[in-house]
A and B are shown apart, each in its own frame.
Chain A
Amino acid sequence: MQSRLDLLRSKALRYGITLLVFAAAPYFLSSYDVSLLGRFLAMSILALGLSLVWGWGGILSLGQGVFFGLGGYAIAMHLKLAALAPGDLPDFMVWTGMDHLPGWWSVFHNTKFALVAAIAAPSLAAAGLAWLVFHRRVGGVYFALITQALALAFGTLLISQQSYTGGFNGLTDFGALFGFPLADPRTERLLYWLTLALLALVFAALQWVLSTDFGKILMAIRDGENRMRFLGYNPAPYKVVAFAIGGACAGVAGALFTLHVGVISPAMVGVVPSIEMVIWVAVGGRSSLLGAIIGTLLVNFGKDRISSALPELWLFVMGLLFVVVVMILPRGLSGIGEHWQRLHGWRFLAKFRKPSDPKQGGRTCVGCTWPYGRRS
């Protein structure tokens, strides 16, 4: 018990210091980098959800962009309406010849409704889809392909329904949220801290979820779905709940991303961006929450730097990342980190921690055998 407490303390200490460093970022990074960091931290929330779904639940989703988009569009619809004088129509509706606001648009006048919708819509959509697929015991590769088809359908639907969704250009030109003008540097800073706080909150919440019985059952389902059936568990509801949590995370990320960037468009929700989200998590290590955040930051900063210098190169790099991570580093950077930690230990942190008990080593070893341990 004592050593466990110490471990917790040192972990909490490390997380606390990291959080402080990130919170202070606006004071030592350029404003360009801070705005990038803000949107990447928002995207990390999606990555956390994807890590739960894929790394811990074994459900590969190639359609996470859809839930990201639902959250983003929900908040964007509100911002669009908030920027208008009463009775006016959004510009793209005027261009496409609409003469009145559709009912399902006007409810987004209400700020609370929009905020709730940004989380509820994606999680309900995720839960519904997951239930339809998983309760018929369809899973694995099939589910990945269906989510990809969903991303394709959602993207084309958004582009084609121009008078309702702004079409290819999406929704942009926002004014203010809660009376804070979005273009103001002070608002940007507040938004950055809000994003960081939400990221920390989601991180802690998912850590807790994984430590509960639900988390253990989810992992057991990942490693042997039929075995869990024989033990009397129905895997479907667990997978549905996990996928809904992943959807909610994606929705929050989409909403924050829209606030940071000031635009949401079909280009951010389709097939290609959706699968790009998987590589964020894969690079960090699919079953490491911390890895998901690190992977998201690394891949996106890398993308920003590479595609501004050599635009052609980025797709080659991303393609190679997929191949290399999957073939050589299936556990991503967190896999390297854990190996290094077990070989060398955190010597410089040794004074914060008592020697770890053998059970600790056992836990990482179980992780190491996955996914090599399974042969199907």
Chain B
Amino acid sequence: MGEGGVIAGQIFNGISVASILLLAALGLALSFGVMNVINMAHGEMLMLGGYLSYLACRVLPGPGGFLVALAVAFGGTFLFGVLLEVIVIRRLYGRPLDTLLATWGISLILQQGARSLFGPIGVEVVAPHWLNGSVSMHGTLAGLDLPYVRLFIIVLAIAVLGLVALFIAKTAWGLRLRAVHQDREMAEALGVNTRTVDLVVFALGAGVAGLAGSVLALISPVTPTVGQSYIVYAFLVVIVGGLGSLVGTALAALLVGLFSSSLQIFTSVSLADVLLLVLVILFIQFRPKGIVVRRSRAIEA
């Protein structure tokens, strides 16, 4: 494989990592932007999605089984998001640091629960046969293989981003969501039920994370700690992206994914981690509010 092939391969890897990060960070960014809530158990939504799709694929082993698994993962984590919001998040409104700690506790319980149920060793979701194989490149990029699975993940991430954008831009709930995002008190005064909006945002974010976990299961085994390995990067994406902006989150996911995979060409994985953190800290020196800044005359609390 030529020099160009290696670099193109890393870029492709970066984009596919970025797609999973995007799916994982979307819910975080939305609930942080709208509710000012950081959900530390968000990584466990990935894990839950992964295990749910594993179970669904066990029940329905056919070629369409994985599509059902995607739906199950989304629905299951969506419902779990509803539960979590009603039982915990809504009671801690206005105390973001405390929410962070309580949800961390929930993530510990979920991890240990998964360990007790499924064991510490990962379970595999076998990709359906229509995702086996890869696109081979010719010419200057000869030798570069783009596996269908990774292409599928990229397409899914773009599709989900598009659907969420449509939901926010075109539907009535999207309108309410934007209103609450811009000015919570005013929206409330005008009759928007902010509690329901919070619930919808949170559950939707959890559902999207469940999808991320489901596709993640295609490329690596589902373990009780699978969420932990992605969630810190997802948080960095939220920091770089800016408060609750879809465009910012997408750009930030791409940046973080490409940075970490291209840094890995030059250094080791662990040094790439450190450099990524350094880059994020440098980045907030220049744009402390992220890529996309919400313009407002209010003083942030």
Contact = CB atoms under 8 A, between A and B. Distances in A.
Interface string B98-123: 11111011111101110110000000
Contacts of B112: 312, 315-316, 319
Contacts, number: 129
Summarize A's interface: helix, strand, loop or mixed.
Answer: helix
Number of chain A interface residues as a range: 35 or more
A271 B228 CA distance: 10
A150 B278 CA distance: 9
Nearest to A60: B97
A133 B281 contact: yes
B108 A149 contact: no
Interface in A217-254: 226
Interface stretch (B47-55, B150-158, B214-222, B232-240): B232-240
B195 interface: no
A16 interface: no
Interface in B130-175: none
A159 B238 CA distance: 27
Interface in B231-284: 232, 235-236, 238-239, 268-271, 273-274, 276-277, 280-281, 284
B257 to A, nearest CB: 16
Contact of B268 (A137, A160, A226, A316): A160
Interface stretch (B8-16, B66-74, B87-95, B196-204): B87-95
Interface stretch (A118-126, A287-295, A323-331): A323-331
Given A149-B232, A156-B273, A326 B239 contact: no
A141 B277 contact: no
B228 A275 contact: no
Interface string B279-301: 01100110010000000000111
B105 A330 contact: no
Given A323-B88, A376-B94, A160 B270 contact: yes
A141 B97 contact: yes
A138 B288 CA distance: 6
Task: Give the secondary structure class of B's interface.
Answer: helix
B280 A146 contact: yes
Given A133-B281, A140-B96, A226-B299, A322 B235 contact: no
Given A60-B100, A132-B281, A271-B228, A157 B273 contact: yes
A322 B97 CA distance: 12
Contacts of A149: 232, 235-236, 277, 280
Most chain B beta carbons < 10 A, residue from A153, A156, A157, A325: A153
Contact of B270 (A141, A156, A278): A156
B98 A141 contact: no
A136 interface: yes
B105 A326 contact: yes
Contact of A138 (B98, B101, B284): B284
A376 B270 contact: no
Contacts of A320: 105, 109
A28 to B, nearest CB: 35
A145 B271 CA distance: 19
Contacts of A129: 281
Given A141-B97, A320-B105, 4 more contacts: A138-B288, A141-B38, A153-B276, A226-B301
B104 A275 contact: yes
A153 B109 contact: no
Interface of A: 58, 60, 129, 132-133, 136-138, 140-142, 144-146, 148-150, 152-153, 156-157, 159-161, 226, 271, 275, 278-279, 282, 312, 315-316, 318-323, 325-327, 330, 371, 374-376
A322 B285 contact: no
A356 B228 CA distance: 50
Contact of B92 (A144, A145, A316, A327): A327
Nearest to A224: B301
A116 B232 CA distance: 33
Interface residues of B, number: 48
18 contacts: A60-B100, A136-B288, A140-B96, A144-B100, A145-B235, A149-B280, A150-B277, A153-B274, A160-B270, A275-B104, A312-B112, A312-B116, A315-B112, A318-B108, A319-B105, A319-B108, A320-B105, A327-B102
Nearest to A142: B239
A132 B279 CA distance: 12
A141 B96 contact: yes
Question: Which of A138, A145, A316 has the most B CB atoms < 10 Å from its CB?
Answer: A145
B32 interface: yes
Given A141-B38, A142-B239, A315-B109, A330 B98 contact: yes
A161 B100 CA distance: 31
Contact of A326 (B92, B113, B235): B92
Contacts of A374: 94
A153 B274 CA distance: 5
Given A149-B232, A160-B268, A141 B102 contact: no
Contacts of A137: 288
Given A133-B284, A141-B97, A226-B299, A148 B232 contact: yes
Contacts of A315: 108-109, 111-112
Give the one of A60, A149, A375 with max B CB within 10 A.
A149
Contacts of A325: 101
A144 B236 CA distance: 11
B102 to A, nearest CB: 4
A318 B232 CA distance: 21
A133 B288 CA distance: 9
B239 A146 contact: yes
Contact of B235 (A148, A157, A318, A330): A148
